[in-house]
Amino acid sequence: MEISILGSGSWSTAIASLLSENYDVLIYARNEEDADYINKNHKNRKYLKEFDLAENIKATSNLEDLFKNKYIINGIPTQSIRSVIKKFKPYISSDNVFINLAKGIELGSHKRISEVFCDELGDDISFAVLSGPSHAEEVIKKMPTAVVAASSDINLSKDVQKLFNSDWFRVYSSTDLIGVELGGAIKNTLAFGIGMLDGLGYGDNTKAAVITRGIHEMNRLLISYDANPNTINGLAGVGDLIVTSTSLNSRNYRTGLLIGKGYSMEDAVDKIQMVVEGIPTTKALYQLSLENDIDLPITLEIYKVLYENKNPIDSVSSLMGRSLKSEF
């Protein structure tokens, strides 16, 4: 069986390497030269370029080629997904199963990625998401990793679980699609904030406080959507938050770190030289919280730093000066 991957970034490349142990893989690269390079040199010249790729990983720059396969894995960043779906819509069939790797909330609509797919392709599509603490740089090295596969259809969730599971990549199943998607989105925003704290030179006490209250904020968001709050205690919540907010492999953490050190948002992103999903997601979450009257104080302060040029030190003061209350 051959599996298609939409996108050729670092996470798509690592997933291709994982799946190539059991399946043939076809990667879509928008640039024809990038696709040719993968086919000729068995390397991705832009991402994880130091790693060799298996010979059963092929690449194409023709979108239509992907949809002959049943499983279509999406590695396209959140804010580009809707426009790409419009391009491949003519090629899909009722047999296609979509598995999403991206994490975020769409600007403007404030919709989760599954909702964007349903908007464009209909409510009857087969859709699942793979999420959890999983740096591409470690997955491609076959370091033990655990993630969760979520779908509103438990049978599809279990199919995806079996598809990805290996001796070193453990997959759990879930039917809480909403909770897994929201957890994967807000953890990027929180990782920004924790990176900023480190950039400002604050210590472990401060970081522990923001992580803990950040988990509380994640819970509040899920409850407002009638998702399962237990999801936040799992891999798509606490697990993903830990790995994203404590590691230099995390582009969201690194961007926050640079902003804490005095870089502008634009200069920090330019230095990272990769898509930083948490920046637009922070704006979408902030707007969503206003529309639905959800209290997300940490997200609010991170938004003000990113989009209103608030000094991060002042944001810390704002959080510390909030009215006193019971912990739970």
**DSSP secondary structure string, 44-58?**
-SSSSTTS---TTEE
Closest CA to 231 of 215, 207, 209, 255: 215
What is the spatial distance between Cα 19 and Cα 16, in angstroms, rounded to a whole number? 5
Note the helical H segments in 201-277. 204-224, 240-245, 251-260, 265-272
Does 293 score more than 90 pLDDT? yes
Residue 306's pLDDT band, with cuts at 50, 70 and 90, is: very high
Q: What is the pLDDT of residue 198?
A: 96
Which pTM value belongs to this model? 0.95
> Which residue is listed with tokens 């994982």?
18
Residue 292's pLDDT band, with cuts at 50, 70 and 90, is: very high
- The answer to whether the CB of 298 falls within 8 A of the CB of 193 is yes
Mean pLDDT of 294-304: 96
Cβ-Cβ contacts under 8 Å for 258 (sequence gap 6 or more): 195, 199, 267, 268, 271, 272
Q: Round the average pLDDT of the chain to a whole number and report it.
A: 95
Q: What is the pLDDT of residue 276?
A: 86
Residue 274's pLDDT band, with cuts at 50, 70 and 90, is: confident
Residue 273's pLDDT band, with cuts at 50, 70 and 90, is: confident
> Sign of the C-alpha dihedral, residues 294, 295, 299, 304?
positive
* Residue range 170-221, pLDDT digits in tens: 999 999 999 999 999 999 999 989 999 999 999 999 999 999 999 999 999 9
**Residues annotated as part of the active site:** 187
